[in-house]
Amino acid sequence: MSGHGPQLGFRILGPLEVLRDGMRVEPRGAKLRTLLIDLLLHRKQYRTGPQLIDDLWAGHPPATAPGILRNYLSQLRELLGPEVLIRRGAGYGVDIRAEELDSEHFEQLSVRARIADRDGDLAAVLDSTTAALALWRGQALSDVVATEFAQPHIARLEELRQATTELHLEATIATGRPQEAIAPLEELVVVEPMRERLWWLLMLAQYRCGRQTDALRSYQRARAELAAQLGVDPGHELRQLEVAILNQRPELDDLLRRTPAPAVVSGLPISGVRPLHRYRSALVGRQAELDILAVRVEAGAVLTLTGIGGAGKTRLAIELAERLRRLWPDGVAFVDLAPVIDEGMVAAAALLALGLDEEPIRPPLDTVVRALRDRRLLLVVDNCEHLSDAVGRLTGAVVDAAPGCAVLATSRTPLGIPGERIWPVRPLETDNERSDAVQLLVERAVAVNPAFRSDDHTVELARRLGGLPLAIEMVAPWTRTLSTLDIADRLEQLVAIGDHTRPERQQRMAAVFEWSDRRLDADTRRVYHRLGVFVGDFDLAAAEAVVPADDAGRPAVLVSLGQLVDHSLVMAETSSGRARYRLLEPVRQFAADRLVDDGDDLAVRDRHLRYYRSVALGVGKHAAGPEATTWLGRADQEIANLRAAHDHALRTRRADDATIMAGGLYWYWWIRASSTEGIDRLRRSLELRPGPGPRARARIGLASLLIQADRHDEAAEQAEAALEDARLINDPRLEALAVGTVGRIAADRGQYDVAETMLRSAQIQFEALGHRGGTAWCLFVRYVAAASPVARAQKLPGLRRAHRIYTEDGMRWGQTWTRSMLGLAAIREERLDDAALELTAANRLIDEDGLRDELAVYAKSFLGVVSARSGQLRLTADLLAQSLTIAEGFPDRRPFAAWRWALAEAAAAAGASELVARSLGAGHRRTDPTGNMVDAVRLAALRAAVVSALGEERAEVLASSGAHEQDHHLLAALEAALSSR
């Protein structure tokens, strides 16, 4: 830190600790700790307000987030001092020294240990690694382990910790203390059984302690773990060690012995090594990857960066090599294989990169190996995919004969050699305006057009370019003459024009994909083109439904998928649950275009429609039942393909298919509060004139979504038309549902007698059919539609019966509604503990299922009332912020009556009488004319207290202003009131 401020210390390698002049200070509250950790992780940068808000609220901030953030920053500035928390332009940062942050001190010590290891100074290795590992007090960043922004930092620090631990144990064994390494290694192989290096060290330590049998038993354990987890045998090094232990070879005593790197290197003319390419622009993004990869490049190992053409493999490799240059005394050599077309010329290209001449008496590969045998050099081999066999021979020979050298390769496909370490280079993220792909596009655009400003189309443009750096670099120069909207409209033309300053096979994106396409066999190429119908990601079952078995009856997808993943044309995510696959948008578009050329487009899209129609029907059947979480999650995953399939049905005028799909998805749209999309798709489907069965179901769905959109007249028309259709096809279940929907609409319009008649009729029909879910729904709506406290009391047993049915049948959505209303009933009866139990359970279901309809607003508001009356005002503010975020786009204002009630309760508890008056403005009467979803008695008491405190005239003035006040302004006022307490 600059100046002569306080002595600071920040510890994030475990729970957050802050020291100021030797004394611990405590940032109070999870959000405040998260904010400080965020700033510490970005110590060398300045984080803008929007970036910090995105990190603190995981992309779903409350409307009052800017004000809350300012309050948190003020608290941090008071805690740390204005000389530490500083602002520069629009960004915030912490001005501290690297040694004041334990994670950076750890990294410094780890680098120092690696340099000492290179120099053969084992005592220094042990000193540095011991000091580095002593800084850890638990899991890195344990306070923010569940946050998205922390994940790359956690992965990087844990990887570096593992590498430092391995180096420490190696040095412990090498200095003659193998017995000290055995216990920690036994623990590590349980935690990380796939890291063969740990098993290798354990076997060697056991052997050095005279425990040959234990060492061989450890090999068998390692082999069993690898077979069970990955279906593979141990690698070459582990197998060699087993053989050496079996035969008690004397060279086992020399393993891990370090020899200092020579001060002067002879034999290899270092001055002739081809230098790395120098880029004229800075690398954007990839910092977390660079940190992780830096500890994976090791002597005696081959690390291959794989990925689709244009993903940025070469740039990443060169940046990584530059970062590691000082660790390699004999330098870094760069072998560019892009212009090489003959496998026989690969070794010759390596000689050229090393600055060596061919020797007439021996093959080029032998000359390379002979020259590198005693060297410590990093060999970077670029663009290997078209020569992978020859590159495999070269790199394998180098690491076998020159254990002091490392190979860093780039290839669209793995080299396929034993012991190869593979790192898939993914495209840059495109989630939002702060994503790396968007930042790259903006930076490159500003470089050619200083007046360029990011707009709403920039993120979409980066997404359509698939986050591929090459595509972004090609498009960015067009910002001199076109807007981002113009570029998006003409994207295919501009990418086709390309960039003629680049190597020939990178001048057009199409050329990049054509090259990969040509290298596929005919069957795999056909599978790739057919997968082009998928929009977004998909699973294996979907792929198998769309791509049928080949002529020999073999599953075409299974046969070809591995090759497509190896060529980086398909991206696989296998980390959890069922594997998911995805084609980057430019790659997918190329495949879809080729599918049209193949003449297979219509048949494949029809199969795609059939599969996703069945998914939509499953969603409609299960989204309100016991499997709601699973099916709602599946709909979230598949929504892009569901839309694409429905679009195909509309485009080809498949009336029943389109209407069945939309009718199946209406419940999903309701729960996710996507009524605008649902209404549009249902209307367009009905315009195709489907049969009466699909039409009746779709009309009920459309009526429900129109209710959510506060368009009750249109909803009534659709419900009555659905009732006619149900009677036409003699479907009593649909008829009962239509009758109940008509009753629900009547209740919303205040026609309570009509509502009660229709809902009772529907309930009788459902009970006659034995339809428990329909019966419970009618009982629930009848309670909600009760027009008076007396009527509600009469219908409360029916509500409890509905809850029993929903609970017994595992219908989660119904339980959420009934628990919310039982909670409200308990509030009205002053049973706050019972209310808290019901409403906490309801909110847990809401959060688990991701509900974003008006129910979520009611349930969170009711729980906010209970927490406010229990003195938990910060919880109330958080609940209000969550529900406001959900409800901001709602056309239906009725849920805001409950929201303002909760706000008034919190304001009253905070002693903010004027805010209570503003919260209880005329808006209550406007949003909930019957008071069905509030406690009218409690509201009257709050109003009376306000009048007593402020006087009737002042209370009326504030109530009138509050009726027209923005809800987020009221929430900000509550936050201010709480902060001043």
User: What are the backbone dihedrals phi and psi of residue 10, each rounded to the nearest 5 degrees, phi first?
Assistant: -125, 125
The pairing of strands 421-424 and 302-306 is parallel
The average pLDDT across 349-374 equals: 79
Q: What pLDDT is attached to residue 2?
A: 44
Q: Average pLDDT of the chain?
A: 83
What beta strand segments (E) does 425-519 contain?
A: none
Query: Distance between CA 104 and CA 96 in Å, rounded?
Result: 11
Q: Where are the alpha helices (DSSP H) in 355-387?
A: 364-372
- The answer to the question of residue 827 being in a domain is yes
Query: Distance between CA 471 and CA 38 in Å, rounded?
Result: 31
pLDDT, tens only, 121-161: 888 999 999 999 999 998 899 888 888 888 888 888 888 88
pLDDT, tens only, 947-963: 999 888 898 888 888 88
Same domain assignment for residues 274 and 415: yes
Same domain assignment for residues 462 and 579: no
The average pLDDT across 723-744 equals: 93
Same domain assignment for residues 275 and 145: no
The average pLDDT across 846-867 equals: 85
Same domain assignment for residues 348 and 453: no
The average pLDDT across 660-673 equals: 88
CA 277 to chain centre: 34
Q: What pLDDT is attached to residue 443?
A: 81
- The answer to the question of residue 618 being in a domain is no
pLDDT over 70 (residue 601) = yes
pLDDT over 90 (residue 282) = no
pLDDT over 70 (residue 496) = no
Same domain assignment for residues 417 and 480: no
812 to 379, 778, 799, 918: CA distances (angstroms):
59, 16, 15, 36
Give the three-class secondary structure for 307: coil
- The answer to the question of residue 212 being in a domain is no
Last residue of a domain, one of 424, 456, 491: 424
pLDDT, tens only, 387-429: 888 898 898 888 888 888 889 999 888 888 887 888 888 888 8
pLDDT, tens only, 74-129: 788 878 877 788 876 567 888 888 788 999 889 888 878 877 876 778 889 999 99
Same domain assignment for residues 447 and 505: yes
Decide which of 496 and 559 is more confident: 559
Q: What pLDDT is attached to residue 747?
A: 87
H/E stretch holding 677 reads helix 675-686
Any idea what the Cα angle at residue 591 is, between residues 585 and 594, rounded to 5°?
140
The average pLDDT across 65-73 equals: 78
Q: What pLDDT is attached to residue 277?
A: 60
Last residue of a domain, one of 599, 634, 658: 599
Percent over 70 (pLDDT), the chain: 89
pLDDT, tens only, 860-885: 999 999 999 988 888 888 888 888 87
Query: Distance between CA 924 and CA 932 in Å, rounded?
Result: 11
615 to 381, 609, 621: CA distances (angstroms):
46, 10, 10
In sign, the C-alpha dihedral spanning 156, 159, 165, 167 is negative
pLDDT, tens only, 169-189: 999 998 889 999 999 999 998
Q: Which CATH number fits the domain that encloses residue 918?
A: 1.25.40.10
The region of weakest confidence among 470-474, 490-494, 547-551, 875-879 is: 490-494
- The answer to the question of residue 533 being in a domain is yes
H/E stretch holding 411 reads strand 406-411
Torsion of CA 251, 252, 253, 259, to 10 degrees: 70
Last residue of a domain, one of 116, 150, 175: 175
Q: The domain containing residue 356 runs over which residues?
A: 270-424
- The answer to the question of residue 735 being in a domain is no
Q: What pLDDT is attached to residue 68?
A: 80
Q: What is the number of structural domains in the chain?
A: 5
Q: What pLDDT is attached to residue 681?
A: 94
688 to 555, 605, 683: CA distances (angstroms):
36, 19, 9
Query: Distance between CA 868 and CA 859 in Å, rounded?
Result: 14
Residue 385 has which token pair? 């995919």
Query: Distance between CA 758 and CA 744 in Å, rounded?
Result: 8
Give the three-class secondary structure for 333: strand
For residue 257, name the pLDDT band (cuts at 50, 70, 90).
low
In one-letter notation, the amino acid at residue 717 is E
Same domain assignment for residues 479 and 585: no
Q: What pLDDT is attached to residue 492?
A: 63
Q: Which CATH number fits the domain that encloses residue 51?
A: 1.10.10.10
Same domain assignment for residues 529 and 504: no
Cβ count within 10 A of residue 237: 16
- Contact between 37 and 31 under an 8 Å Cβ cutoff? The reply is no
- The answer to the question of residue 642 being in a domain is no
- The answer to the question of residue 718 being in a domain is no
The average pLDDT across 22-36 equals: 85
Percent over 90 (pLDDT), the chain: 28
pLDDT over 90 (residue 633) = no
Q: What pLDDT is attached to residue 50?
A: 79
- The answer to the question of residue 904 being in a domain is yes
Q: What pLDDT is attached to residue 922?
A: 47
Query: Distance between CA 455 and CA 485 in Å, rounded?
Result: 9
Q: What pLDDT is attached to residue 269?
A: 43
Highest mean pLDDT among 234-238, 642-646, 916-920, 970-974: 642-646
Query: Distance between CA 875 and CA 883 in Å, rounded?
Result: 12
Same domain assignment for residues 157 and 10: yes
Output DSSP code: residue 881: H
Same domain assignment for residues 322 and 452: no
332 bridge partner residues: 378
In one-letter notation, the amino acid at residue 227 is A
pLDDT over 70 (residue 930) = no
Same domain assignment for residues 563 and 498: no
Q: What pLDDT is attached to residue 806?
A: 93
Q: What pLDDT is attached to residue 740?
A: 94
The region of weakest confidence among 286-300, 508-522, 554-568, 836-850 is: 508-522
Decide which of 454 and 535 is more confident: 535
Same domain assignment for residues 506 and 525: no
